[in-house]
Amino acid sequence: MPTVDGLLVVDKAAGWTSHDVVAKCRGIFGQKRVGHAGTLDPGATGVLLVGLGRVTRLLRYPGSRPKAYTGEVVLGVETSTLDDEGEVVATHEMAGVSLDDVRSVAAGFVGDIEQVPPMVSAVKVGGRRLHDLARKGVEVERQPRRATVYGLDVEDAGERGVFRIDVTCSAGTYVRVLAADIGRVLGGGAHLRRLRRTAVGEFGIDEAHPVEALGPDVVLAPTEAMRGHDRVTVGDDLAASVAHGGVLDRAELGVGGEGPWAVVDGTGALLAVYEPAHDGRAKPAVVLQTDR
C-alpha cells in the first residue's frame, strides 16, 4: 500500500486516548508516519486532527488555531482531575447559585487569562510529564500560562447545579481549569464533565468521522491542513525554487502580512509552507514536494 499524505478530521469517542486514535490510523493505512494535533483527554469527545505521512510536519499550523468546546460545569464538587474521571476531593453547598450568577462570573474569564496547568496534563516540568507524576501521586508546582478566551456562553443544563458552557478559546486553554476556576470564584468549587471539542480552527464537528468510518475516501489533501492561513499560487519556474527550499523575496513570492503562507502550484497541490525571514524575504518552514 502506498504511503498516504493527508489530513483526517476524526470525531474521537470517549474512552479513546489521542494516541489510541493514532495507533488505529497506523493500522488502517498501513504506515507508521501518523500524528495528531491538540491532545484530547480520554473522557473527552470531538474533533481530533490526524496527519498522515508528510502532513505530520504541518500539524503545528492547524493545531495553533482557536478551538471550540462544549461541556458541563458541575458546581459544588471538586475532583482530583478537575473532571468527572477523578476522585472527589471537596464538596460545597452551592444550591443558591443562579444562572445569572454563573454568567456574571464567566464573563470575567473572557479575554486574556492565566491558568495553572492541571497535574493530569501533558505539560513537562523538569523533563517529566505532569500526568506521569500525577499517576505516582506526586504534585509539583506549576507556573501559570497565558490563554485567551474569545467567547464563553452559559446555559442551564436542566439539572440542579449543572450549567452548559460553550467556549471558544486559544490553543493551550484548559477548559477543565476554566470550570474549576469559575466554581472557585463563585465561592465554592466545580468540575467539568461531558467535554466535547466542536471545532479546531476551520475544521468543525460536521465534517468529522468516527474511527470506524476512517479510510482513504475521507482523507483530505495536504493543502487542507493550511485552512485559515494565506495561500499563494506560483508558476512552474518559481515552483522549482520553492521545491528546492529557496529563500525568496516576499514580493517575488507574492505574499504579504505576517504569514505563514501556503505555497501551491497551478493544480492546487501544496508545495511548501513559507514563513517570514529578515529583510523582506520569506523562508521555507516545510517543503512537501521536492521532485521538481
Confidence of residue 116 (pLDDT cuts 50, 70, 90): confident
**Length, in residues, of the chain:** 292
Question: Which amino acid does the sequence have at 201?
Answer: G
Q: List, as one string, the DSSP characters of 92-161.
A: ---TT--HHHHHHHHHTTSEEEEEPPPTTS--EETTEEHHHHHHTT-------EEEEEEEEEEEEEEETT
Report the distance separating Cα 151 and Cα 175, nearest Å: 12
Amino acid of residue 81: T
Q: Which of 268, 243, 239 is nearest to 254 (CA)?
A: 239
Burial group, residue 171, by CB count within 10 angstroms (0-12, 13-18, 19+): middle
Could you give the CA distance from residue 45 to residue 184 in angstroms, rounded to a whole number?
26
How much is the average pLDDT of 2-13?
Answer: 95
**216: amino acid identity, one letter:** P
Q: Which residue has the cell 471545532?
A: 199
- Coil/strand/helix, residue 79: strand
Which tens digits make up the pLDDT trace of 215-232? 999 999 999 999 999 999
The answer on pLDDT for 258 being more than 70 is yes
Sign of CA dihedral 44, 49, 50, 56: negative
Q: What would the grid cell of residue 241 be?
A: 525554487
pLDDT tens figures, 58-83? 999 999 999 999 999 999 999 988 99
pLDDT the model gives residue 41:
87
Euclidean distance between CA atoms 128 and 200, whole angstroms: 27
CB 73 within 8 A of CB 162: yes
pLDDT reading at 135 higher than 80: no
Position of cell 501544496?
Answer: 270
User: What is the overall mean pLDDT for the chain?
Assistant: 91
CB atoms within 10 A of CB 95: 9
* Residues 17, 44: Cα–Cα separation, whole Å: 9
Higher pLDDT, 292 or 173: 173
| Active-site residue list | 41
Amino acid at 87: E
Asked whether the beta carbons of 40 and 48 are under 8 A apart, the reply is yes
Q: What is the pLDDT of residue 137?
A: 59
Other Cβ atoms closer than 10 A to 78: 20
Q: What is the pLDDT of residues 29-58, one digit of tens each?
A: 999 999 999 889 889 999 999 999 999 999
Q: Where are the beta strands (DSSP E) in 130-250?
A: 145-159, 162-169, 190-200, 203-204, 230-233, 248-249
Res 128: pLDDT: 57
Output the CA–CA distances (angstroms, integers) from residue 292 to 3, 136, 274, 275, 289, in the order listed: 19, 52, 17, 21, 7
The per-residue pLDDT for 285 is 96
The fraction of the chain above a pLDDT of 90, given in percent, is 80
